[in-house]
Amino acid sequence: MSEKRGFGHVEAILSFVIFIAFLVFAFIFFSPFQSGRTLTSSLDYAWREVADASNIDLEIYSVYINSANQIIAIAIPGAPAMNATVEDSNSNAVASYTDLSGNVNFQKPPNNFVRIKFGEDFVQGNLISGILLANTEYTVSSSETNKVFSEKKLFDLNASYYAGYSTLKTNFNLPNRVDFGFTVGLSNINISASKEIPENVEVLSKNDRVAVVRIPSGVIEYADVGVFVW
């Protein structure tokens, strides 16, 4: 009889241990605190993925021209083999054309100073044919490479969101139970991508003011970008 009572105690202890293990499992996988951590990490990841999908490298050369010619072409040694845009000292766009040889053609501004920007999303521009300057007829005073949001890339991401949301979310490696969206407030247009958000769900968001290069002008403006998850 005492041996049977001993086995009964062991079974009771095992049952208690299994019950505690189940409670721990349920707390870990169904705890609202765990859900909050998942949303927080997903928000950080979604922001990085949206930025990576929307950013381009912009190579900018500040150039002073000492030529009397008015319609000119410049070939900057070492510049990337991309289309370019031109702006004056007041950041106003100057009509330009990048020919097949990589020469940037444009009309010289009155103060002889321009910034020439090279970027993967720029268009070739309307045909302008200028006189190609010798290296002695212009001076590159500075150059820099900046990573900025691209208006074209943002529109492409918006189109991908609505054309294949599930594929995009998979490419972003977001958890199945987490959804995301984003908004961009430009000066003359808003780019918004979002699914319907159910009522009474937790929504986390991250907002920042970032540099966006407009296409095709190449003008840089600052816009409010927001990414949100639920």
d(CA 222, CA 200): 33
Residue 13 has pLDDT above 90, yes or no: no
Sign of the Cα torsion 122, 127, 130, 134 reads: positive
Q: Could you say which DSSP state residue 112 is in?
A: S
d(CA 225, CA 184): 5
More confident residue, 15 or 151: 151
More confident residue, 158 or 34: 158
* 59-98: pLDDT as tens digits: 999 999 999 999 999 999 999 999 999 999 999 999 999 9
d(CA 210, CA 184): 10
What pLDDT shows up at residue 38? 84
Closest CA to 130 of 166, 105, 163: 105
